[in-house]
Amino acid sequence: MQSTLSTVARGTAFEQRSLQLLQDCFSMSLRRVGGKSDGGVDLIGWWWLPFSEPRSPPSTPSTLSRRRIRVLAQCKAEKKKFSPNYVREMEGVWHMHAQAHSPSARTSELGTVALLLSESTFTTATLTRALGSSVPFLLMNLPPPTSLLPVSPDPRAEGTLGEVGSAFWNPTLGGAYGLLRGEFDVRWERDSGGGGRPGLWCRDKRVQSWTPDNIQGASVGEFGKADQ
């Protein structure tokens, strides 16, 4: 029982850490799903990406000129290396959700991204499977925080995100003919504390992380619910 509880607690902690990091560093507004009826999804929500060309008049904050993309995420807090079986499983989840949900007309929803987050590294077979998939995949390795680093309640503080990880996306997502039209790059950025965090770049310029949750008093009707 103790082992089971420890595994559940570890998984929940990793989901919470992933959710916070993605909002603070990657412009994703997600919520935890969990439970036996989660449909194979741990986190669900939206990725708020800026248009590559400014579309706001000078009087409008540029941060509001964003398009949203649906995100379906699975989190794996396992010590063993990430298996390609998880990629195949996520492909099935993605197709199931794609058939069940029609695009929203309220904002520029461009499609759905399959996001896989892992505390352990990805095997070569896993990366090969994801890179060749017709599903838009983003894979992110988030190593567990190092116990030697100081603990801080602010996940943006230097050193609190643990060791430098890695991030990969396939051509279906980030390629010139993919969902993002080759306009963005994902880079892992080191900090002075020896750790790191993922960063999003557009045409060699760092994209400031933003979600509707960052706007005080923003109405749900204006931006849409992040957990729909």
Q: Please state the rounded mean pLDDT for residues 148-164.
A: 42
User: What pLDDT, on the 0 to 100 scale, is given for residue 152?
Assistant: 39
pLDDT digits (tens, 9 = 90+) for 12-40: 999 999 999 899 889 999 999 866 656 78
Does the residue 103 lie in any domain? yes
Does the residue 57 lie in any domain? no
For residues 209 and 119, give the distance between their C-alpha atoms in angstroms, rounded to a whole number: 22
Given a cut of 90, whether residue 176 has pLDDT beyond it is yes
Domain boundaries, position 198: 7-52+65-146+160-212
Does the residue 116 lie in any domain? yes
Whats the size of the chain, residue-wise? Answer: 228
Does the residue 28 lie in any domain? yes
Q: What is the CATH number of the domain that holds 70?
A: 3.40.91
User: What pLDDT, on the 0 to 100 scale, is given for residue 194?
Assistant: 65
Does the residue 201 lie in any domain? yes
Residue type, 219: S
Does the residue 155 lie in any domain? no
pLDDT digits (tens, 9 = 90+) for 88-125: 999 999 999 877 765 544 444 678 999 999 999 999 99
Q: End-to-end distance of the chain based on CA atoms, in angstroms?
A: 35
Pairing label, strands 66-76, 112-118: parallel
pTM here is 0.79
Q: How many domains does the chain have?
A: 1
Contact 173, 138 (CB under 8 A): yes
Q: Six-digit token pair at 148?
A: 């030697």
User: What pLDDT, on the 0 to 100 scale, is given for residue 59?
Assistant: 41
CB neighbours (10 Å) of residue 27?
Answer: 23
Contact 145, 161 (CB under 8 A): yes
Q: What's the mean per-residue pLDDT of the chain?
A: 77
Q: Please state the rounded mean pLDDT for residues 149-169.
A: 54
Residue 14: phi, psi to the nearest 5? -70, -40
